Chains A and B, each alone.
Chain A
């Protein structure tokens, strides 16, 4: 029992350390791309090409003083960032990185991820309400309404994926894409899903909760130092998680394109390539592509207005996703 727990803790650390590192490098990548798109240099001082910039920033923030305003509800205020960050990290337990490479190959993986993203709305409300600041309160309300609106559209899009794969297990969903990746038969839904994950993670062009010009920084105005770090970590962690989720649902997960092209040799060499190296490599490449999509959208598009955002979520995406679901259902029924 003791060794089992130790083993699980090692698994956890092995996964989470790389998740945290990828958050650090993703922030760096984002700043570099933003810099070069606007013909600036981007971070370049700390380490080679600014490689250590984010780590330096994080250390600086962790060493800063945490300010707790007088008007807050202390317990909720302290609990909110911990809850956010914990939920964001807990997502990774069901994500499969290769065939059978998940911490827990959970049968209801999709439902689990939906549930966690629903729960993270609570932490935003908690942060905004307990701060007792007008900006934080408004930002939290907006953020919560936006997230739950797009979660419905996301859920309905997921239903079509579930229909095609006949399973809620993420490994099975990837296995079902062995021959054709789902972004080809479900192409309109794939585009809608990309927009939904932008809104779900409160990113540009849907970053209304933290519209700098009006709400300063949204629900986390009152958080300084480590509280801010935890929110920041959770946000970027969610972006990476959603990218991995998109790769699993639509881009074929660890399935390798042009299968026979990538394999050579035989025996143990082929085995290593076939079961370990290429699958995880291709999964990472797909995830990184979606992550870069997030950044490119941020550089390219101006911010939405809030009424446009709600209109897009409720009046366009929801009926469209439902209609596509019924169409796919009927086609399946017709030709079965």
Chain B
């Protein structure tokens, strides 16, 4: 089954590569100086586009890591929820409460205000 999946993923990447390469080979190529500038409303680009990034994007990315790990962490527990006892239930509620506290702190601190 894993071999099937691996083969399927390889094939889907191969198909995209084939599409890309075939089109590159078939289409005409006639590049000149003006055509090869980055799009900026008809001007020559003023400066390099890789400017400073708003810090909030980083905060969102960091929060994403925390919550995504939390989702991944809850999944195996939820799958076995029926077989596990009350103690694990309260432990997880405790974990979620800590997480909710942290989340409330973020909101109060204004980390999520745009």
Determine if A332 is an interface residue (Cβ-Cβ < 8 Å). Answer: yes
| Cα separation A160 to B56 with both chains bound (whole Å) | 29
**Residues on the A chain within 8 Å of B36, using CB:** 67-70
Q: Which chain B residues border A168 with CB–CB below 8 Å?
A: 75, 79
Q: Which residues of A contact B101 (CB under 8 A)?
A: none
Given contacts A81-B20, A103-B8, contact A149 B27 (CB under 8 A): no
Chain B residues, Cβ within 8 Å of A226:
19-20, 23-24, 27
A26 within 8 A of B: no
Q: Which residues of chain B are within 8 angstroms of A89 by Cβ–Cβ distance?
A: 12, 15-16
Query: Which residue of chain B lies nearest to A67 when distances are taken between CB atoms in the complex?
Result: B35
Q: Which of A260-310 contact B (CB under 8 A)?
A: 306-307, 310
Does B114 contact A311, Cβ atoms closer than 8 Å?
yes
Interface: A148 (CB within 8 A): yes
In the complex, the answer to whether A156 meets B71 with C-beta atoms within 8 Å is: yes
| Contact among B4, B37, B71 for A159, CB-based, below 8 A | B71
**CB atoms of A310 and B48 under 8 A apart:** no
Contact between B64 and A152, CB atoms less than 8 A apart:
yes
Q: Which of A45-53, A104-112, A186-194, A245-253 contacts its partner?
A: A104-112
Tell which of A35-43, A58-66, A177-185 binds the partner: A58-66
When C-beta atoms are compared, the residue in chain B nearest to A306 turns out to be B114
CB of B5 within 8 A of CB of A93, answer yes
Whether, in the assembled complex, B98 has its beta carbon less than 8 Å from a beta carbon of chain A, the answer is: no
In the complex, whether A44 has a CB less than 8 A from a CB of chain B is no
Question: Does residue A162 face the partner (Cβ distance < 8 Å to B)?
Answer: yes
Interface residues of B toward A: which range?
A: 35 or more
Contact pick for A16, options B12, B37, B114, CB 8 Å: B12
Cα distance A69–B4 when bound, in Å? 39
Asked if B50 contacts A159 (CB within 8 A), the reply is: no
Residues of B within 8 A of A158 (CB): 71
Given A63-B26, A81-B16, A225-B23; A133-B49 close (CB under 8 Å)? yes
Q: How many angstroms between the C-alpha atoms of A62 and B51 in the bound complex?
A: 33
Give which listed residue, B72, B103, B114, contacts A310 with CB less than 8 A. B114
Residues of B within 8 A of A56 (CB): none
Q: Would you call A163 and B78 a contact (CB within 8 A)?
A: yes
Chain B residue with Cβ nearest A141: B57
Cα(A319)–Cα(B102), bound, Å: 12
Task: Name, among A168, A226, A315, the residue most crowded by chain B CB atoms within 10 Å (CB to CB).
Answer: A226
Please, how many angstroms separate the alpha-carbon atoms of A151 and B68 in the complex? 8
Known contacts A132-B38, A133-B45, A155-B71; A149 and B11 CB within 8 A of each other: no
Asked whether any CB of chain B lies closer than 8 Å to the CB of A221, the reply is yes
Residues on A with C-beta less than 8 A from B38 are: 69-72, 131-133, 222
Q: Are B89 and A329 in contact (CB under 8 A)?
A: yes
B49 & A326 in contact (Cβ 8 Å cutoff): no
12 A-B residue pairings within 8 Å (CB atoms): A16-B15, A69-B36, A69-B37, A69-B38, A83-B16, A134-B51, A137-B49, A137-B51, A159-B78, A307-B114, A314-B63, A322-B100
Question: B residues engaging A (CB < 8 A)?
Answer: 1-2, 4-5, 7-9, 11-13, 15-17, 19-20, 22-24, 26-31, 35-40, 45, 48-51, 53-54, 57, 60-61, 63-64, 67-68, 71-72, 74-75, 78-82, 86, 89, 92-93, 96, 100, 103, 107, 112-114
Q: Nearest 7 A-B pairs (CB), nearest first?
A: A89-B12, A86-B13, A307-B114, A226-B23, A155-B71, A85-B16, A133-B38
12 extra interchain contacts, Cβ-Cβ under 8 A, other than A133-B45, A156-B67? Answer: A16-B15, A68-B36, A70-B37, A70-B38, A71-B49, A145-B61, A155-B71, A166-B79, A166-B80, A222-B38, A307-B113, A310-B60
